[in-house]
Chain A
Amino acid sequence: MKGTIKQISLFAENKPGRLAKIAETLSKAGINIRAFTIAEAGDFGVVRMVVDDPDSAYKSLRKQGFAVSETDVIGVEMNDIPGGLFEIANSLGKGGVNIDYAYAFVTRSDLALLILRVDDIPTAQKVLKAAKIRLVSEQEISKI
């Protein structure tokens, strides 16, 4: 989808060594992780990440036997000051858009990014634009 970022997510058992295996696979493929989070539910978890080359990451992880999927998420530039998150969350809330999950990171170019999975991407993009919040593109992520 236009204006979105491809997030890689995969299923992993919640036991020692799994994260290392994932990180090793990406490292060997020369892939750089930009943002990363783990959601756990007991014995297993879903590892989500934004990388500089999602297609290559998908292939490498699949080859290693992981159950991988790609999800469209939105990358939003967040002001790295108190109130930065409020600005974004408020616009989406007022626009009736639900945030399924989110995670943030700061890049070396001082860019604070919020990765969001929402239930309605077109409306989210519209309300964020109207609130003058900048959406970050796939190319920008890979070039950081």
Chain B
Amino acid sequence: MAAMLDFWNSRIERAPLEELQEIQLRKLRHLVDNVYRNSHFYRRRLDNAGVRPDDIKKLGDVAKLPFTYKKDLRDNYPTKMFCAPLSQVVRYHASSGTTGKPTVVGYTRGDIDCWTTSLARAMTSCGLGRGDVVIVSYGYGLFTGGLGAHYGAEEVGASVIPMGVGNTERQIELMQDLHATAIACTPSYLLHMNETAKKMGVSIKDDTDLKMAFLGAEPWSLETRGRIERSLGIKAYDIYGTSELSGPLFTECSAQQGIHVWADHFLLEVIDHNGDPVPDGEKGELVVTTLSKEALPLIRYRVGDVTILNHEPCDCGRTHPRIMRIMGRTDDMLIVRGINVFPGQIESVLMSIPEVGEHFQIIADRKGELDNLTVRVEVTRAAFSDKLADLMKLEQKIAYELQKVLSLSTHVELVETGTLPRSQGKSQKVIDKRKI
């Protein structure tokens, strides 16, 4: 019988909103003062915006601060935006950059502890605890999903099986043999696992002890959630986070009415395209200020996800604000098998291969339960010789170079010169046929 806590930290999770806001203001003032004095990047940014630390007197003054973007991380690759000495960075992670270069993030020991605590609170709110057995099927390595979920689940006292991605039949075997009660992976992978299990003659619903899943790293609809919960006989909780904010940090609670974002560590805003705040309950772009991060604090970071904010107290008793299901992106980023893909990355790879033109088309579709990415590229006239083998090698070379940059294997299709649309519009360059 799993030993379940109702709250990881009841005192803070149920603190009145006013108290949380006092904590936020105190930390925000300290953050701005600290980065102004110790970070070249933020000093310049704040000076350009004409803002000084003393200008932050109330929580609303956060709107005076300039935004930060993924571009800033890219331009300051790898560590020029860091605010702690590198000798105090105990972990690096990386994630997809918008062009060829990845973005690098770093963590002090305090940052790792804070990340772990966030997820411990979140997982506890879903009923996870000592006695649970958790399979972590997010990628381990530079991707934050695997290690993030791992540390969080270990912290709450669950037994962790660090499977990572792949080897699905083995995962199902261990799910049964070690009596796994929970899994953390992408929703499409879990559906794929269900199909694989059926082929093995195993019903996850009837033949395993699985009762909950933490699903994220890619968008998924309520319909898909219903499908997963019914066919696997589990509760499926949305998990959310980005590497810039640390990694996976927040989940829905047992009420499943939005994702609690820990106010004592993160200050949230939702803005319209002018950068002005939208009223609670209206859709807008998520902006996050990290109040506790030391190595890479982010002020008003434009995450790029579109959501709705809710400050009402939740049925679970927690007072920390909730964000509702992520409803899309403000940029052209795609998520394929849980991996962020920017068309700009593909463009940068193709530009380095002379035998193909720089025009391309990306088609995302889902065969069965797993995503596929097809990249269609034009053969240049100059590059065409008579040798079939050369063309096949070219296809393989493109796929190889793309794999290096995207960390994803793609299906490459060579097409005739001049046949791809030349417009810059996303709608023609990126075709997403998936229905999530």
Q: Are B388's CB and A67's CB within 8 A?
A: no
Interface code A40-80, partner B: CB below 8 Å = 1, 0 otherwise?
01011010100000000000001001111101000000000
Question: With contacts defined as CB atoms under 8 Å apart, how many contacts are there between chain A and chain B in the complex?
Answer: 51
Q: Tell me which of A7, A18, A43, A44 contacts B386 (CB under 8 A).
A: A7
Q: Which chain B residue shows the least CB distance to A100?
A: B387
| Contact A11:B413 (CB < 8 A) given known A44-B391, A67-B381, A71-B386 | no
Expressed in whole angstroms, the minimum distance between the Cβ of B282 and any Cβ of chain A is 45
Interface of A is mostly: strand
Distance of A42 Cα from B336 Cα, bound (Å): 24
Q: Are B384's CB and A43's CB within 8 A?
A: no
Q: Which chain B residue shows the least CB distance to A44?
A: B414
Distance of A83 Cα from B415 Cα, bound (Å): 41
Residue A120, interface by CB 8 Å: no
Number of interface residues of B (CB under 8 A): 17
Q: Report A-chain residues with C-beta under 8 Å of the C-beta of B380.
A: 67
Q: Report B-chain residues with C-beta under 8 Å of the C-beta of A67.
A: 379-381, 383-384, 416-417
Residue A13, interface by CB 8 Å: yes
Q: Are B416's CB and A13's CB within 8 A?
A: yes
B386-419 contacts to A (CB < 8 Å): 386, 388, 391-392, 413-419
Q: Are B392's CB and A41's CB within 8 A?
A: yes
Distance of A106 Cα from B417 Cα, bound (Å): 34
Residue B167, interface by CB 8 Å: no
| Contact A46:B416 (CB < 8 A) given known A11-B379, A67-B379, A67-B381 | no
Residue A12, interface by CB 8 Å: yes
Q: Which chain A residue shows the least CB distance to B414?
A: A44
Interface of B is mostly: loop
Expressed in whole angstroms, the minimum distance between the Cβ of B137 and any Cβ of chain A is 31
Q: Report B-chain residues with C-beta under 8 Å of the C-beta of A62.
A: 381
Q: Are A11's CB and B414's CB within 8 A?
A: yes
Q: Are B418's CB and A43's CB within 8 A?
A: no
Expressed in whole angstroms, the minimum distance between the Cβ of A30 and any Cβ of chain B is 24
Q: Are A43's CB and B414's CB within 8 A?
A: yes
Of B380, B384, B417, most buried by chain A (CB within 10 Å of CB) is: B384
Residue B385, interface by CB 8 Å: yes
Expressed in whole angstroms, the minimum distance between the Cβ of A106 and any Cβ of chain B is 24
| Contact A41:B391 (CB < 8 A) given known A13-B415, A65-B418, A66-B416 | yes
A1-36 contacts to B (CB < 8 Å): 7, 9-13, 18
Distance of A11 Cα from B386 Cα, bound (Å): 8
Q: Are B386's CB and A9's CB within 8 A?
A: yes
Expressed in whole angstroms, the minimum distance between the Cβ of A13 and any Cβ of chain B is 6
Expressed in whole angstroms, the minimum distance between the Cβ of B373 and any Cβ of chain A is 15
Q: Report B-chain residues with C-beta under 8 Å of the C-beta of A11.
A: 379, 384, 391, 414, 416
Expressed in whole angstroms, the minimum distance between the Cβ of B191 and any Cβ of chain A is 28
Residue A39, interface by CB 8 Å: yes
Q: Are A117's CB and B386's CB within 8 A?
A: yes
The 9 closest A-B pairs by CB, nearest first: A67-B384, A71-B386, A9-B386, A67-B381, A65-B418, A43-B413, A11-B384, A39-B388, A44-B414
Instruction: List residues of chain B with CB under 8 Å of any chain A CB.
Output: 379-381, 383-386, 388, 391-392, 413-419
